[in-house]
Structure 1
């Protein structure tokens, strides 16, 4: 009588290795940073917009997703996307890879998540994961700092 152990066969080991390699070689899943905030979605979005303008950024748009949903007789909790940027930071990214323009200007979603207002944004590393943008470059570090600083300012009353 032969005794078998619970080891995967060669085919299964190769498959597992291939799957692991695909995940290791793939860009990371989108990394989102969530910052809790005090106040309503509208109040926090106003504070974010004011903080961005005070920092010298241009606010390009404000998208009220809940109003959009209501316009087609659907419901969403309050959710407002604030789109802003500074060409001094965005232009160098696009000079390295024009595809950076797909994720620029910067954007932060202010949303009601189960009764709590949250500021939600993608990390700079995740934003540029599928591009040739050097996320160690000074402009990328400044983008990270700006997102951190502006969302922290907007989070407080």
Structure 2
């Protein structure tokens, strides 16, 4: 199952922005958070992407005696692609490397969530990088779909 989510500072504006590019994209996984994150990392590394960090928010919460459903963030990317995006709009650097959130919701469903590259293009006023944005969009969709199955 694949769905998009509209998240803005003023959630009330979402219905007004129905035609706008969705900021976050989500893919439901058939696996646990741990298994989904492990699979995502394995697939990403197998495609030659660098995995820079993996943050286990649940473990960090437990370390300060707080409860949190399983939640991990994987930070990954390709310096060649990232550099090309920053050459088109240097402010893209705030959203690079790319990230995917793997989390369990209140209904025990597991989701992979990531920023829509087309949204980032608009957010950062990226010009002249349409092919790179399309490539990143395709890779993100393929990675999350493969990790979810």
| TM beyond 0.5 | yes
| Interval containing the TM-score (normalised by the shorter chain) | 0.7 to 0.9
Partners of 1:35 and 1:119 within 8 A in 2 = yes
Pair member with larger Rg: 1
Count of residues in correspondence between the two structures: 132
Please, which of 104, 113, 122 is the counterpart of residue 112 of structure 1?
A: 104
Alpha-carbon distance between aligned partners in 1 of 2:57 and 2:42, rounded to the nearest angstrom: 20
Indicate whether 1:67 and 2:67 are aligned.
no
The root-mean-square deviation of aligned C-alpha atoms, in Å, is 2.0
Give CA deviations for 1:50-81 in whole Å, capped at 9, x if unaligned: 11111111000101111111112111100000
Partners of 1:30 and 1:127 within 8 A in 2 = no
Q: What are the ranges of 5 or more consecutive residues in structure 2 without an aligned counterpart?
A: 1-12
Give CA deviations for 1:78-133 in whole Å, capped at 9, x if unaligned: 00001110122111111112110110111110000120111111101222433131
Alpha-carbon distance between aligned partners in 2 of 1:47 and 1:150, rounded to the nearest angstrom: 9
The aligned runs of 1:43-122 (5 Å cut-off) are 43-113=35-105, 114-122=107-115
Aligned to 2:28: 36
- What's the TM-score, normalizing by structure 2? 0.81
Aligned to 2:146: 153
- What's the TM-score, normalizing by structure 1? 0.77
Q: What are the ranges of 5 or more consecutive residues in structure 1 without an aligned counterpart?
A: 1-19
